[in-house]
Chain A
Amino acid sequence: MTELFVVITVIAVALIFDFTNGFHDSANAMAGPVATGALKPRTAVILGAFLNLVGACLSTEVAKTISGGFFDDSLITVPIILAGLVGAILWNLMTWLFGLPSSSSHALFGGLIGAVVVGAGLASVHGWVIVSKVLLPAIVAPLVAGIAAAWATRLAYRITRKTPSVHTNTGFKYGQAFTASMVALAHGTSDGQKTMGVITLVLIAANLQASGTGPQLWVIIAAGVAIGLGTYSGGWRIMRTMGKGIVEIETPQGAASGAATSATILASAHLGFGLSTTHVSTGSILGSGVGRGAEVRWRLASRMAFAWLLTLPGAGLVGGLAALLADQGVFGVIALTVLLAGACLVIYVLSRRHRITHANVTDSHEVLVLTAATPTTYPDDPRLEAPPKPKKAKKPKAKSAA
């Protein structure tokens, strides 16, 4: 009975991870088209969600292992999976709060590694695999996609230099919509199966499913729906950073960066050197900005790079702490779930202070968390009704009269 309870909890948490995976990565495909207006924000996320769902249902070859070679498969237990998922979810939510794109797979690996370290010691983790599967790709992905996007952007502008912008806008918007759809579909096939793999593994570990069999139909549908719903909910904070924050995206540039993103993702998936979708699409957008000669906000880019470096240890730390609780039997699991729910709620409440939705995603380039974090504020902020600090209040005060 208690075992069944734990299994159900882990499956629920796995689906929550899948949801955060969806809304964290929604921007990878759709930030470009939303920023240039190739797709309306609502249309973009509905299309993205649908393609993610389709992709998840298409993927047949579910990853048999979720350890990724970072540690021995035999070390994986149900509490470790739970702790790893908790670490990944919290890291995804925290980076979302700050509007920072970061790799969901790195978060999941980080959470699992942290949990394994707590359970089996530091020596059980293969350090070199971290270098070859996390560090190196994190440097290579933005470089390759960035160079591809920079060249493609430069060519796109050069070729259509004398073409009227009415024609280029329409043409490139179609190109953008197609490449974005490919990225969304590819995302569904690759990331949807991650959660299916986790759930199937848990079911097998609990003897509810025969070892060596593939995921059951309801698992496929549940995982597809969770990642689709996540994509539909949009992750507008990250969408703003990627579509507006790094660089202003023009239509030809958006088409070129979309082409670079889908080409690099497909090449990496089929030619044997795995790259993170998030790192690839961020690199494309950066590169396309350089290629157009636009003003790239390098400070934001370096903050993102910092978040990428922190993803594995950050999620690992949370995963490790979670593992301490998850190991304490059924009460530990209950306590962990309650803590997870509480933390999610806190992050959600914090995010409400500066809401970003489909309606205002392209209005500004900044993702604010706390007013104190940056001197500029939104005029519609209710707290501006009371006069804030005299120095910073000048501009907003005048606008809040309306």
Chain B
Amino acid sequence: MHIDWAALGVVTVVSIATSVIFTILLASGIRFVSAAKIKSNEGGSGAAIISIGYVLLGIAGLLVLFGIYLIVPQFH
């Protein structure tokens, strides 16, 4: 009888870490983009903030692409 505790531990850590990182990227991206929109509505320039927001959302998007890479067996 053999239970792969090491694999179980790795799966646990990676699952939780990835979920949290993805959510932080998504939520912060949304927050920055929203803040930039509000700022430009008030007459200021939100260019710097909005680019930070899009960079964060872009990284979240890369995570999604990496997920698709993992799912599609032809890629690896």
Interface residues of chain A, those whose CB is within 8 Å of chain B, are: 55, 58-61, 128, 131-132, 136, 140, 144-145, 147-149, 151-153, 155-156, 159-160, 162-164, 167-168, 171-172, 175, 178-179, 182, 185-186, 189, 252, 255-256, 259-260, 262-264, 266-273, 275
Contact = CB atoms under 8 A, between A and B. Distances in A.
Contact of A160 (B22, B31, B73): B31
Instruction: Summarize B's interface: helix, strand, loop or mixed.
Output: helix
B8 A140 contact: yes
A148 B7 contact: no
B34 A152 contact: no
A136 B3 contact: yes
Interface in B1-45: 1-4, 7-8, 10-12, 14-16, 18-20, 22-24, 26-31, 33-35, 37-38
Nearest to A157: B27
5 contacts: A151-B19, A159-B24, A160-B27, A255-B26, A264-B19
A145 B15 contact: yes
B47 to A, nearest CB: 17
B29 to A, nearest CB: 7
User: Ordered nearest first, which 8 A-B pairs have the shortest CB separation?
Assistant: A171-B30, A167-B34, A148-B19, A152-B23, A159-B27, A263-B18, A264-B15, A272-B7
A189 B76 CA distance: 14
B64 interface: yes
Given A58-B74, A273-B4, A273-B7, A149 B19 contact: yes
Contact of B27 (A61, A140, A156): A156
B11 A268 contact: yes
Contact of A259 (B26, B28, B34): B26
Contacts of B10: 267, 271-273
Interface of B: 1-4, 7-8, 10-12, 14-16, 18-20, 22-24, 26-31, 33-35, 37-38, 60, 64, 67-68, 70-74
B23 A259 contact: yes
A153 B20 CA distance: 9
A70 to B, nearest CB: 13
A32 to B, nearest CB: 14
Query: Which of A144, A155, A175 has the largest count of B CB atoms less than 10 A from its CB?
Result: A175
Contact of B15 (A153, A162, A189, A267): A267
Nearest to B57: A171
Given A55-B71, A272-B4, A163 B28 contact: no
B74 to A, nearest CB: 7
Contacts of A145: 15
B15 A159 contact: no
A327 to B, nearest CB: 31
Nearest to B23: A152
Contact of A171 (B12, B20, B33): B33
A145 B60 CA distance: 19
Contact of B72 (A58, A147, A160): A58
Contacts of A149: 19
Given A151-B16, A260-B19, A185 B71 contact: yes
Given A259-B23, A267-B14, A268-B11, A189 B30 contact: no
